[in-house]
Structure 1
Amino acid sequence: MNKAITEALVLMPPAFAEGLDVWSSGNGTPGSDTYDGAVNAALVAADQDFGGCLELQKTDITQQLRYMGQTPLIPGCYLQIRVRVKALSGALPTVRIAGWPGGSGGHVAGLTETAAAVTLTTYGQVVELSAIVGTGARGGVDMVWGMAAQYGYFGIDLTGANGGVVRVDDIEIADVTGVFLRDMLSQVDVRDYGALGDGVSDDSAAFAAADADADGRRVFVPAGSYFLAESVTLDAEVAFEGTVTMPDDKMLLLTKSFDLPHYIAAFDDEELAFKKAFQALLNNADHESLDMGGRKVTVTGPIDMQAAVPNKSSYSTRRVVRNGQLEASAGAAWDTDVVTSQATYSVSDSKTLSNVTNVANVPVGALVGGTGVGREVYVTDKRVGAQEITLSRPLYDAVGTQNFTFRDFKYMLDFSGFSNLSKFALSDVEVQCEGLCSGIRLAVTGTAFQLRDCFVSRPRDRGVTSIGTGCQGMLIDRCQFLSDENAGDVADRSSIALNANANDVKLRNNRAEKFRHFAVLAGSNNVVTGNHFFQGDGVSGGVRTGGLVLTASYSSSTITSNYVDNCFIEWTNEHDSKPDFVSGFSFSALSIADNIFLSGDVAPWFSYVVIKPHGTGNFLNGVNVTGNMFRSINGTIDRAERVDTSFADLDYARFKNVTFAGNTYHAVTYQVMNPLRVRHSEGSAAASWTIEAGGELPFGGRARGVDGIVTLDPVKTGGGATVHDLPYVMLEQGSNGDKVKLVWSEAVKGEVALSLRIDT
């Protein structure tokens, strides 16, 4: 590149022989004195070393010689000023190349205006001096003038003792930009636009200027530390050899080079780079996703995702982070904070704890523990002045005053600082917790958070946590949740893969291994399909925990085509503040269909579908359990289903619309159905036949209905006469109500088939 050639810029000053009226004895500006007619200056037509030249006697403390033509300075263009001098007589002076920088407002102060000086030591010896001037602080540039200087007046200074006489050859100015180009690459260097890279000076304007001038070329950031005091947007592609620093609230937007590897190159810190790239993702309309480029980022402490974007407290435009790994590094930053406070609970304000002592120290997002507190209840808000805490779910039996424990788990990706975050996704990302921390904490509110094709590996306490309703419509697809408690027995495990409080959650085709629970879902209208979750251990006759826990009595959910392995589906109403049934639907609207249920080495009382009611009067209403495969290996279990009466029992007299049919059983003693087909043979004539369900009515239900009675051979009296009368039925007989009586008009014997029901 040479501007004198490519843009026909006139850089070379005229020869002295063309006249001294354009050569100033001052700074070169218009109106300054010239050497035309000066007594201490004369033209020499034929010097043996120089040919035509200027002979000059030093008479001032600093004898200046400046070409009065404005030599233009262009960003990225570097000029070399060359001159040859020799001493003739008198005192030997010191010589240096010098210039006067000018801009739109005149003289530009604060710049270096002289190059290194050389002292003449021998008369008649030709000494050559050169200096380079330009906008950028490149190596070899003597006078760095930045972007403010638009032109210069160049020449030499003579300093030292007066009286000496020197001869000066014609001064040359040439474009030497090519010296600084790297194999003629199509790029602009931020140093050419005034960037210093000293880590202190604000290089924001230089970066912006380089980007504005790139015009399809790449912006190059050479070695150095560049401080950007303001937000900078680079619309050109960029290559970082040096690094940048900037305040937390300022943004670096790399619109053409938007991926994590470029941010790592820019900040030379993986964790900081991830935060700044996420900040840019939420502030750049040109990109819907951040590609991590397959990079692994070592994380030393919880990443407050909202704090990384201080100008956003909520966000609802689709954004995705994809293709990388986040790995926790050991340190005290992951330690769980535990606070114990006394508080009061009332069902009249079912999501509030009042009169909370030490409320200021209770973290928002902490897990709440205490008597009568259900699983996965979190602090969603606090009001210090009012001494109140807002809970994610009501408490089932905590009325009064007691001590509550608040555990603030530390999450690698913590979105809880956002008041709302919607349509955000992680795709093909592994959150590698290393047993040090939890995985992901969602915003307080939001919709359609998505996790797809991700791994949440070895979370210490929780994989994905919803502390509020940020899980509304959450989609978790094709993910793996790998426990850190693999080696522990089931009873000793405490970690949970995920929870949700809001409705419309979709869990599809995931795999989770050896957590205490795979998922705790407190909302309704959920779809759980194609998942494999297992929680076994090596203990013979061991206990198991709920793999999928539903805590809304009105579920309106489907659980279909899952592999439920060494765990069970638990359905409870522990998040009801008034668990006694008064009105509504009670335990209703749940379909469990076409799943594989498998267990091995479990206690005989283990079951695959467990209902655990709190409060009185609850019942089943619209429940479908069909087409499932129940199998126990290494031991037989009693039942596939049961009611856990640890807190309360169901009201069996109110069951409605329950279907339990088309299932297969292997090594299960009681193979339940509803309606249940029963064959009964009465060998001796009797007017009343007692028919038992044999323990095969589901959930310990009562025989509340008979759909049909069919005689399988002639019903006869004791004397052998055939009776064609139909009996009437007496329901809910026996101490458990699971028997019926057929009452005939006279004593008869024979065989019948019945269809018994537990519901109406």
Structure 2
Amino acid sequence: MNKAITDGVLFMPPAFESNLNVWSSGNGTSGSDTYQNAMNAAFVPSDQDFGGCLELQKTATTQKVRYMGQTPMLPGCYLQITVRIKAVSGALPSVRIAGYAAYGSGNNVPGLVEIGPEVALTNYGEVVELRAIVGTGARGGVDMVWGSDPVYGHFGLDLVGATGGIVRIDDIEIEDITGAYLRDMMDWVDVRDYGAIGDGVTDDSEAFAAANSAANGREVLVPDGTYHLANSVTFTTPVRFQGTITMPTDKYLTLNRNFHLPAYIEAFGNEELAFKKAFQSLLNNSDHESLDMGGRRITVTEPIDLREVVATKNSYAQRRVIRNGQFYVTGDTAWTPDTVTSQATYDSDDPRTLTNVVNVANVPVGARVSANGVGREIYVESKNISTQEIRLSQPLYDAEGTQNYTFTRFKYVLDFSGFDTISLFNISDVEFLCNSLASGILLATSGVAFHIRDCFFNRPKHRAITSPGSGCQGMLVDRCNFITAEGGTPAQDRISIAISTNANDVKVRNNRASQFRHFLIIGGMNAVVTGNHFFQGDGEDAGLRTAGVIMALSHISMTFDSNYVDNASLEWTNEYDATPDFGGGYSFSALSVTDNVFLSGDVAPWVAYLVIKPHGQGHYITGLTVTGNKFRSLHGSMDRVDRVDTSFADLDMSKGKHVLVEGNTFHAITTPCYNPLQIDYTQSSASNTWVIDTENKLPFGGQPRTVESLVPISKIETSGNTGVFSMPYARTGQGTANDELHLKWETAVKGEMSVRVRMD
């Protein structure tokens, strides 16, 4: 590049023969003294070495010669000043090339180097050639680094040392030698040409911004070095990093034209820091909606507090995506859960609040709460230090009064809990290699439509995905793979849980989960769980099986469809209900379990696939559909597929409605269940009362409460074989266990009857 050629910029000063009134004995600024008619200067028209030249007697300690013309200083340009000089007589001085750096106003730019290397003249008549380079950037061979502040310069030389000597000076040359540093045709600009120093201390923010502005679509080069940026910087042009940068935590780097994680890794030289700075930019810039990790594996040594990383926002509700990469967890103590034990008081009239919490300041938001009467997967949603209160993610079923609570804060690779709200966020095609050290993702305490798809959660220590509040409202988890490290642990001794939720409208679809304690906790209504395969078996003989899916509300309003339930069960509880005892409403209702595969092997015979566990008195079933399912047991039979866990209370089987259990298949199940239940009954001896036992085949030990039909399937006759054509009336809920149906006839009869009864 040569600006004199490409842009017609004039750098070369005039020859001395033209006029000495443009050559100053001062700094070259307007109004300074010139050598025109000076007593110590004269033009020599015919020197044997120089031709025309300036003869000058040194009369000052520093005798200056400066061209008064304004030589422009252009970003990216490098000028070489060349002087040929010889001593003629008198004291021998030293000589150096020098200049004056000027703002556009003409004032001097302070703090810059304005002299080149000093050379001593040692022999009379010996021609000495001096060169010095001035430019905007700290490039190799540049003697005077002026940065981007000077607009122009006055250039020449200084004679220093003893006075009295006479020298002759050839015409001074100023050339654009930028081509020595840059290709003649370049498609990039160098931040050093705009004043960047790269010493790791000097603030290079303005130089980076200037390079971006000058690039005009070309690539910006950040060469070797460490560049400190004290302020946020946005590049609207592509950037190539050979050196690295440092920034304060609350300042961000935005790479609009190459916004992807590999570029940030090149910029910061550290994968973990690079991800943080890229995420920071993702939420602080509107020019990109997704962070492509570029297939990179990021080593993570500590939990990533994403709110702390972003620094500028408490909430975010625009679509953003993290995709296509891998987090690899290493380290030890950084992933150890924090545990705090404090005394607190619970009042069911305020069912989601703990009051008078001792040492509340030390209780972390997002911690799991455990104590007597506390349901599974209850979390600290927020806290108020001044009032000593904690807001819980769900009510407690039996914790009235004051007691000690344990708060356990698991450590997550991606921790969103510092945000008040995160909505519309998407994590796609990302693998979390938790290495039995870390948990996966902790959501914000509120938000809508968080979407996790096509991700792998490999060996999370405690949890894969946790919602500590309502941040899972409308959450979607699609086509993810969850693998625990607890495969060799008996099912009942495992601690890991794949997904826990609290809010409504969750969709969990087409996932696979292997050998967790629980696959999914549903704490809200209107969930859709479809197409998943979760298996929780172990190598134990007659082993226990834990719940794969826990539904923690009585009125669940949920669809469970086309799943593969492998050595696990569905557990339906009301441990999140604010008042566990039934006091009105729908009780256990609105659950549809359709077209699923239930398979187990080597299990204890009393293990069941469908378990209802009431946490209070008076509950009954008011809406349950179980159709089209395939129930099977391998290597031993199961007693039945359904049961009521009476650890806290039983169901009231004298009530109930809208229960449909039909169209299912049962293999190696001793007692299948049906509602309606069809019984083909034979009365061998004549009797006025036929006692028909439902044989415990109504779901969950239900009572026969309704007779849908009575159809004789043989001749009804007296003991004398006389036909009887009248019909009986039915009494339901008979017998000591209320599980019998009695048919009452007007006379003693015998025969066969097909009876269709219901428990609702």
Q: Is the Cα contact below 8 Å between 1:465 and 1:499 reproduced in 2? A: yes
Q: Tell me the residue number matched to 1:20.
A: 20
Report if aligned partners of 2:451, 2:477 keep a CA contact under 8 Å in 1.
Answer: yes
Aligned with 1:652: secondary structure?
Answer: coil
Aligned partner of 1:197 in structure 2 is 198
2:495 is matched with which residue?
Answer: 494
Deviations 1:79-130 (A, max 9, x none): 1111111222222211110000111232111111001111122222221111
2:614 and 2:651 in contact (8 A); partners too: yes
TM-score for both structures, normalised by structure 2: 0.99
Contact 1:221/1:241 (<8 A) preserved:
yes
User: How far is the alpha carbon of 1:183 from its aligned partner?
Assistant: 7.0
Alignment of structure 1 residues 494-533 onto 2, 5 Å: 494-533=495-534
User: Which stretch of the first structure deviates more once superposed, 417-426 or 240-249?
Assistant: 240-249
Given the alignment of the two structures, is residue 270 of structure 1 paired with residue 275 of structure 2, yes or no? no
Contact 2:104 2:152 (C-alpha < 8 Å) held by counterparts: no
Per-residue deviation at 1:695?
Answer: 2.0
Name the residue aligned to 1:30.
30
Q: Which amino acid aligns with 1:3?
A: K
Paired residue for 2:339? 338
Tell me the distance in 1 between the aligned counterparts of 2:137 and 2:680.
98
1:645 aligns with 2:646: yes
Partner of 1:325: 326
> What amino acid is the match of 2:149?
A
**Aligned 8 A contact 2:96 2:157 in 1:** yes
What is the rounded CA distance, in whole Å, between the counterparts of 1:377 and 1:418 in structure 2? 19
Q: Distance in 1 between matches of 2:183 and 2:605?
A: 77
Contact conserved, 2:518 with 2:547, CA < 8 A, in 1?
A: yes
Structure 2 contact 191–221 (Cα < 8 Å) conserved: yes
CA distance in 2, matches of 1:596, 1:525: 22
Q: Matched residue of 2:221: which SS?
A: strand
Alpha-carbon distance between aligned partners in 2 of 1:238 and 1:469, rounded to the nearest angstrom: 40
3-state DSSP of counterpart to 2:395: coil
1:174 to 2:147 alignment: no
Identify the residue that residue 9 of structure 1 maps to in structure 2: 9
Amino acid at match of 1:33: D
Q: Which residue identity does 2:425 align to in structure 1? A: F
State, as a whole percentage, how many aligned pairs show the same letter: 60
Moved over 6 A (4+): none
Match of 1:130? 131
1:46 maps to a residue whose letter is S
Supply the AA of the counterpart residue of 1:18: S
2:476 corresponds to which residue? 475
Task: Tell me what 2:64 maps to.
Answer: 64
Tell me the CA shift for residue 182 of structure 1. Answer: 4.8
Greater shift, 645-654 or 121-130, is seen at 121-130
For residue 639 of structure 1, give the secondary structure of its aligned residue in structure 2. coil
Given that 2:86 and 2:167 are in contact with CA atoms closer than 8 Å, whether structure 1 keeps it comes out as: yes
Q: In 2, are the aligned partners of 1:590 and 1:622 still within 8 Å (CA)?
A: yes
Q: Which runs of 5+ in 2 are unaligned?
A: none
Match of 1:35, SS state, is: coil
Report the number of matched residues.
759
Give distance in 2, aligned partners of 1:476 and 1:184. Answer: 52
Write the distance in 2 (CA, Å) between the matches of 1:387 and 1:18: 88
The question of 1:369 aligning with 2:374 is answered: no
SS in 2 for 1:696: coil
Q: Which residue of 2 aligns with 1:186?
A: 187
| Most deviating of 576-585 and 42-51 | 42-51
Counterpart of 2:417?
Answer: 416
**What RMSD over aligned residues (CA atoms) do the two structures have, in Å?**
1.0
Deviation digits for residues 522-578 of structure 1, max 9, x if unmatched? 100000000001111000100010000000100111000000010001100011231
Q: Deviations over 1:478-531 (max 9, x none)?
A: 011111212211121011111100000000000111111001011000000000
Q: Secondary structure at the match of 2:654?
A: helix
Question: In structure 2, what is the equivalent of residue 428 of structure 1?
Answer: 429
Query: Would the aligned equivalents of 1:729 and 1:742 in 2 still touch at CA under 8 Å?
Result: yes
Displacement of 1:344 in angstroms is: 1.1
Shift of 1:470: 0.3
Q: Distance in 2 between matches of 1:368 and 1:338?
A: 10
What is the match of residue 223 of structure 1? 224
Match of 1:139 in 2: 140
Q: Quick check: 1:47 aligned with 2:54?
A: no
Aligned ranges for residues 331-730 of structure 1 at < 5 Å?
331-730=332-731
Q: Which residue of 1 aligns with 2:97?
A: 97
Asked if the contact 1:397–1:577 (Cα under 8 Å) also holds between the matched residues in 2, the reply is no
Matched residue, 1:78: 78
- Bigger mean CA deviation after superposition, 40-49 or 172-181: 40-49
Once the two structures are TM-superposed, the CA of residue 49 in structure 1 deviates from its matched residue by: 2.0
Contact (CA 8 Å) 1:715, 1:748: kept in 2 or not? yes
The separation in 1 between residues aligned to 2:305 and 2:547, in whole angstroms, is: 32
SS in 1 for 2:212: helix
Report the secondary structure of 1:9's partner residue. Answer: coil
2:250 matches 1:249: yes
Query: Partner letter of residue 380 of structure 1?
Result: E
Take 2:184 and 2:266, find their aligned partners in 1: how far apart are those partners?
Answer: 22
2:137 alignment partner AA? G
5+ residue gaps, structure 1, are: none
Write the deviation string for residues 141-200 of structure 1: whole angstroms up to 9, x where unpaired: 111111110000000111111122222111111111111115743111111111111111
1:420-463 Cα deviation digits (max 9, x unpaired): 11001101111221111111111011000110101111111111
1:48, distance to aligned residue in structure 2 (A): 2.3
Query: For 2:566 and 2:116, how far apart are their aligned partners in 1?
Result: 80
Distance in 2 of aligned mates of 1:259 and 1:627: 48
Q: Does the 8 Å CA contact 1:242/1:266 hold for their aligned counterparts? A: yes
**Partner SS, residue 34 of structure 1:** coil
Separation in 1, partners of 2:677, 2:339: 52
**Is the 1:28–1:66 Cα contact (8 Å) retained in structure 2?**
yes
Q: Is the 8 A contact 1:524 1:555 kept in 2?
A: yes
- In 1, the alpha carbon distance for the partners of 2:176 and 2:467 equals 64
Letter in 1 for 2:750: K
